[in-house]
Structure 1
Amino acid sequence: MLYTLLIYQAEEEVEALSAAEEEAALAEHRKLHEVTRGNGTFVAASRLVPTGAATTVRRKDGEVRLIDGPFAETKEQLLGLYILDCASLEEATGYAKMLPSVPTGCIEVRPIMYMSDPPEKR
């Protein structure tokens, strides 16, 4: 089953990282990439640009509106995501625990429903 690991953290915390701290965090991501590519669970991963570059599309009273930035004001923003093909929720949460955002942010693990035929099994 496909699972997405949604990475949430306050953008200002990420922006405040020193070069060494950022490199250490990226090293943890590279380790997760290596493990999941090696065992065939990796599907995709993306880092999102800061929320200031976002546009929200919302329909209200029959009119479609474009709003600069994210719609909700929250402390933590969605910074990136992984899509992994895991045998179980336990496997997916095990990978989530490897991510560097866990101490100060959170990782939401959520199964993905297919809108078309699912990809071939590994």
Structure 2
Amino acid sequence: MTDSPPASEPSSWLTLPEVAERLDVPISKVHQMVRDHTLLAVRRDGVQRVPAELVANRTVLKHLPGVLTLLHDAGYNDEEALRWLYEADDTLPGVPAAALGTGRATEVKRRAQALGF
């Protein structure tokens, strides 16, 4: 992972210990989620951080792990996946990350799947 920020950034970030507290799981579980690509973390200022809106209440957004798998299968690294999730898309509208928590999640998954072809 690199420290270079993508063009579009999430509005707020959580550190891994904050994610563990929000999800009420041990920090080791959060590290495992990042390794398994069920949660996206990138380095900012030398610290791994997670976009806050990807952790809804006490769970990770339902469709996030599937989208991350599709993006990684298409060859995206974590920074590129973050950039894709936060790239403005007028046809959604908004950014794919925001659409994951709505009825447009299926469309986001379809678009991520198309990247592999």
Q: Which has the higher contact order (CA 8 A, sep 6+)?
A: 1
Normalized per residue, the structure richer in strand is 1
Does TM, normalized by the shorter one, top 0.5? no
Instruction: Give the TM-score taking structure 1 as reference length.
Output: 0.26
Larger Rg: 1
Which structure's residues are more often helix, by fraction? 2
